[in-house]
Structure 1
Amino acid sequence: MSLSSNLRKYLTDHGATKVGYADISDVTIMPELKSGVVFYITYPQDILRGMANAPTEEYVLKLVNLNTKLDELGMLCEEYLIERGYKAYAQTKKRLGKDFGEFNSSELPHKTFATKSGLGWIGKSALLTTKEYGSALRLTSVMTDAPLEYGNPILESNCANCNQCKNACKAGAISGIEWNYRLKRNEFYNDKKCEEYALKISEINLGKADTVCGKCIYACPYTQRYMNSK
């Protein structure tokens, strides 16, 4: 088996739902690291089914749990590659910190790795969206110099005329403009409106202000299909 196959199996054996590899040479923030490893873990279907009045306590607890698990997997991936003689850097939440800049986005987002690897596209909600799971997932990424078998980049949205997430967003944060790889997030999505509403609705639903909502995740038809599958 190749390095790519072995690493994919290693990560899925340790809990990743799906793994992709991307050529990040044109966007990397570490010039010597031109390959990207990206992987995600999906939300359980039972938690999604309870999110009609998102956010819920169960959703928030699972979100935190998945973030922790992804950080652990990111470090395992980094160690796996270093042990085999490659350079690697996991973009864990701990390393990235809490300050994501003016538009609440890191310098090289995990979603960029994901679209470049062919795992999915960016929905109108500004979330990574896949045909298998909708946007009911959390993801992370690792930069490396390892020679990996890259996927085919996705350059355009598959949302077409669907506006379910826009209609569900009570913050008015989703413009309805369809993503393509040339667009910056703030050109089709307003993170400030999202954050403002999330703080209010989480106070109502959870009893404490937090930047979580989840209404757009629940509304996505691809999420609904996954949520209601056996």
Structure 2
Amino acid sequence: MGKLFSNKTKEVFVGPLNKNNPVTIQVLGICSALAVTAKLEPALVMGLSVTIIVAFANVIISLLRNTIPGRIRIIVQLVVVAALVTVVSEVLKAFAYDVSVQLSVYIGLIITNCILMGRLEAFAMSNKPWESFIDGLGNGIGYAWILIVVGFFRELLGSGTLLGYKVIPQAFYDAGYSNNGLMILPPMALILVACIIWVQRARNKELQEK
């Protein structure tokens, strides 16, 4: 058990959550962060989908790494990711069709998500399955929490709802409050991500440029 949760494994998992976050530090997956966060529900589903896919893709590539010819490794990685994306897409269509429609082509575009290809090439190809799984899980969750935070504020301030349920009391609207329509536009997602980056760098001196 100690080997499974060694200091190295913990660092592999914790790093992407903050100081090596794939969205705010590595600046990967920005397109989906802008496109699917107008509502909290699709942001949650997208984050969960990417987490599952990158974790299991890492494991599969790690298991196969010694048998994959170097000249076709990218093709093999794409095939593995495409197969997992297809499975996730079909599951969403079967059990969460409305969310699947909201996400539209972005589920399919997970195949080209730089986070996945980056972790497969940089980590899974040179590490064992368990460490690769933890790395995929950490990067997936690191990606997901950014989407969830952005989706939370965009839906709350832009629509007055969370997960489709009205949370801002009617009394506020009667007193003159109105939803901020700018929050549901893509530029506001970029601004919110920028705010998260600012807070992150302000709290971590090692991330600040010399």
Q: Which has the higher helix share?
A: 2
Higher strand share: 1
Which structure carries more relative contact order (alpha carbon 8 Å, separation 6+)? 2
> TM-score w.r.t. structure 1 length?
0.27
